[in-house]
Each structure stands twice: as structure tokens, then as C-alpha cells.
Amino acid sequence: MASHLPFEIITNEKKIRRLYKGIARYLACWHVDRADYRYAVTVLRAEFDEIKTCKDKDPDGFNKRIKEMEDKLFYYQSVFQEKIWPKSVTGNAYGRESHIPDWVLDYWHPLEKAQYPKYFATREKRKQEYIKMWEEEYGKPDAIKDRHH
């Protein structure tokens, strides 16, 4: 079986949910202000609720309204550029955060360390605690070398 073939039958409910979600996402691109966006989504929800109520009464009208919503989604997709989130791969803030490892602080000049005496005093205390904990758990580094040779 080819991988590009659909694996499921899409029900009307699922189709309506996908249409609603798709249009709502594109409305977020159109409306920068949060209040405008919420208003537009509320109006959209009212339209979809109206479609839902006419499903049983008028099947032809239901299909016509679904087609209108598909056209609306196509319009939003084809007219407007989709919103690019800043920290997504294509966004302008992707990879800007630099994660500096802790060992870099060991190479600071003493005058630089003197500007933050409380921090570096606490840091040295924590380092000694960690070394002590590590030696209790794994032994001293020289003892490990002797075991392997």
C-alpha cells in the first residue's frame, strides 16, 4: 500500500473540527490584537454552531455551508502569509539563546570574580560538596586508575 493514501475515513464532525481549527489559526495571523482575534474566533464559532444546527434539517444547505467554509480556509491560506513563531526553526529568534556551561566560570579572572564575592563563595562551597559526594560514591580518581591498570 502506498504511503500517500489516506488511512481513515474522515467523518463530518472531524472535517468540521479541522476546518474550524484551520480557520482559527489563520485568523490569528490576520488579527494581531488579542481582543480582535478573540472576537473573530467567537464569530467563527457562531457560524459553525449555525452549520451544526442545520445539519439534520437541511443536508444540502449543510454541504453548501461546509463548502463556503472550505473556500474561506483556502482564501486565508492563499492570501496571507502564515505567522512565523519567533522561536520556531524558521523564526528570527531561533537559536539565539546561548547556553554557557558552568566550567567557563572557573576561568574567570580573579578581579572578575571579586565583583560577585557571595556568588563565587557559594559556588566554591557547592563544588566542594559535589566533589565530596562524588568521591564517596565512586572513590578518589587515583584509586580508579589503580583498579584499571
pLDDT digits 0-9 by tens, 73-93: 888 877 666 677 888 888 888
Q: What is the pLDDT of residue 146?
A: 55
Per the domain annotation, does 105 fall within a domain? yes
Taking alpha carbons only, the member of 85, 79, 86, 104 closest to residue 23 is 79
Per the domain annotation, does 125 fall within a domain? yes
Residue 106: is its pLDDT beyond 90?
A: yes
On whether both 26 and 67 belong to a single domain, the answer is: yes
Left (φ > 0), alpha (ψ -120 to 50) or beta: where does 139 sit? left
On whether both 66 and 115 belong to a single domain, the answer is: no
Averaged confidence pLDDT in the chain: 84
Query: HEC string of 6-61?
Result: CCCCCCHHHHHHHHHHHHHHHHHHHCCCHHHHHHHHHHHHHHHHHHHHHHHHCHHH
Per the domain annotation, does 92 fall within a domain? no
Structural domain that includes position 43 = 10-76
pLDDT in tens, 24-49: 888 887 777 889 889 999 999 999 88
On whether both 16 and 59 belong to a single domain, the answer is: yes
Per the domain annotation, does 144 fall within a domain? no
On whether both 61 and 104 belong to a single domain, the answer is: no
pTM of the predicted structure, to 2 decimals: 0.49
